[in-house]
């Protein structure tokens, strides 16, 4: 049976250690690290994510400022809020919960966020910095996956890592972080041929696809490490349930270690958002 990589437990430890850093920060600079969370509309999943982010920011002793805007909010009104937050010295991190309603431009909003407050790490300048190996604010989900991998690998050098998915928010930055950690990286996607055989060669599999339980035990080399990023709501036996992109039941019989869903990458993503907020606050106060 595979070793569990417990994202909930690890994220609690990260948040506890951030709470100590927050008090040191407050003592030194006379203010708290501040995170502004912007939610446009009433998407139920986004509301849950925002609530969890705000709750965890509070647990880390940070100041969190929530901006809930109606779904009819215009681009101009959203731009104007972002510009105000960019100028506010008590706001060190700005997170705009995605997806935005269809009439709003996500690229425009992401570009408008001040680079040094972009705690999601999605601004093109932060994306470029990560690609060139100088990233400061790194996308939270892949950063969380790296911390989880460090729980079971002292050194990732030479490991063959297969990343399933090539999105801008997970797959691509994940591949870059693994490359920086000296892994040999293969990225597979919807046009890749024979994904199963490629995954079977991997020492590490990161699944970020959005397809419930797609990765089966026959895809996994015995002893491999499996990190499941997927969050998929399904109906099973008349009940709504969250499952990952990995068939946890069968894969945990063959993998060396595996992260669960829920309680895996999800909580680590939030912990890393707060880590980025602390980093952004320190960079801004010492600039
Ligand atoms: P996207 O939909 O943006 O990307 C999915 C990727 O998977 C694409 O690159 C796509 O390929 C690839 N893909 C789709 N179908 C297949 C297939 N059958 N075989 C191989 N590759 C396939 O999703 P995200 O990256 O945003 O998210 C992925 C999953 O992670 C989702 O379940 C999401 O909910 C979850 N997630 C979880 C987070 C967390 O905190 N735990 C945070 C962010 C996301 P192509 O590019 O060719 O279309």
CA of 200 to the centre of ligand 1 (A): 20
Whole-structure pTM value: 0.98
Q: How far from 3 is each of 60, 87, 143, 223, CA to CA, in Å?
A: 28, 46, 21, 10
Q: 259 with 148: CB under 8 angstroms?
A: yes
Kindly state the DSSP code that residue 215 receives in the 8-state scheme: B
pLDDT in tens, 147-171: 999 999 999 999 999 999 999 999 9
**pLDDT greater than 90 at residue 287:** no
Say if residues 141 and 169 touch (Cβ distance below 8 Å): yes
Q: What is the mean pLDDT of residues 243-267?
A: 98
Determine if ligand 1 sits within 6 Å of the CB of residue 165. yes
CB distance 79 to ligand 1 below 6 Å? no
Can you tell me the distance from the alpha carbon of 93 to that of 71, in angstroms, rounded to the nearest whole number?
A: 23
Distance 51 CA to ligand 1 centre (A): 23
pLDDT of residue 56: 97
Domains of the chain: 29-114 (3.40.50.10860), 140-265 (3.40.50.720)
Q: Give me ligand 1 centre to Cα 172, in Å.
A: 11
CA distances from 87 to 38, 65, 107 (A): 16, 15, 20
- What band does 277 get if pLDDT is binned at 50, 70 and 90? very high
Pocket test for ligand 1, best of 5, 165, 186 (most atoms within 8 A of CB): 165
Report the C-alpha gap between 259 and 215 in whole angstroms.
13
262 lines ligand 1 (CB under 6 A): no
pLDDT band at 48 (very low <50, low <70, confident <90, very high): very high
- Is the pLDDT at 16 greater than 90? The verdict is yes
- Structure tokens given for 264: 């895996």
Tens digits of residue pLDDT in 176-192: 999 999 999 999 999 99
Residues 93, 185: Cα–Cα separation, whole Å = 31
Coil, strand, or helix at residue 142? Answer: helix
Report the share of the chain in percent with pLDDT over 90: 100
Residue 97 designated active-site: yes
pLDDT, position 134: 94
Which pair of structure tokens corresponds to residue 22? 């927050």
119-149: pLDDT as tens digits: 999 999 999 999 999 999 999 999 999 999 9
Q: Where are the beta strands (DSSP E) in 43-166?
A: 63-69, 93-96, 160-164
- Cβ(139) – ligand 1 distance below 6 Å: no
161 phi and psi, to 5 degrees?
-105, 130
Instruction: List, for residues 70-97, the tens digit of each pLDDT value.
Output: 999 999 999 999 999 999 999 999 999 9
């Amino acid at each position: 049976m595979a070793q569990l990589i417990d994202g909930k437990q690890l994220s609690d430890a990260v948040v506890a250690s951030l709470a100590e850093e927050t008090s040191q920060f407050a003592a030194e600079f006379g203010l708290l690290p501040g995170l502004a969370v912007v939610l446009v509309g009433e998407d139920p999943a986004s509301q849950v994510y925002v609530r969890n982010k705000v709750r965890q920011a509070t647990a880390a002793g940070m100041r969190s400022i929530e901006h809930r805007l109606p779904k009819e909010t215009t681009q101009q009104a959203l731009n104007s809020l972002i510009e105000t937050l960019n100028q506010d010295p008590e706001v060190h991190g700005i997170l705009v919960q995605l997806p935005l309603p269809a009439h709003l431009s996500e690229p425009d909003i992401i570009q408008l966020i001040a680079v040094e407050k972009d705690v999601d790490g999605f601004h093109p300048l932060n994306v470029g910095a990560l690609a060139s190996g100088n990233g400061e604010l790194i996308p939270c989900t892949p950063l969380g996956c790296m911390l989880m991998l460090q729980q079971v690998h002292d050194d990732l050098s030479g490991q063959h890592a297969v990343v399933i998915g090539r999105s801008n928010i997970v797959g691509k930055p994940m591949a870059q972080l693994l490359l920086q950690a000296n892994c040999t990286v293969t990225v597979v996607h919807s046009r890749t041929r024979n994904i199963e055989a490629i995954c079977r060669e991997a020492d590490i599999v990161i699944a970020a696809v959005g397809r419930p339980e797609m990765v089966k035990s026959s895809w996994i080399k015995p002893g491999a490490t499996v990190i499941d990023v997927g969050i998929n709501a399904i109906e099973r036996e008349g009940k709504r349930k969250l499952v990952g992109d990995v068939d946890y039941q069968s894969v945990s019989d063959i993998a060396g270690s595996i992260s669960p869903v829920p309680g895996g990458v999800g909580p680590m993503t939030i912990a890393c958002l707060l880590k980025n907020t602390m980093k952004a606050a320190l960079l801004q106060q010492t600039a």
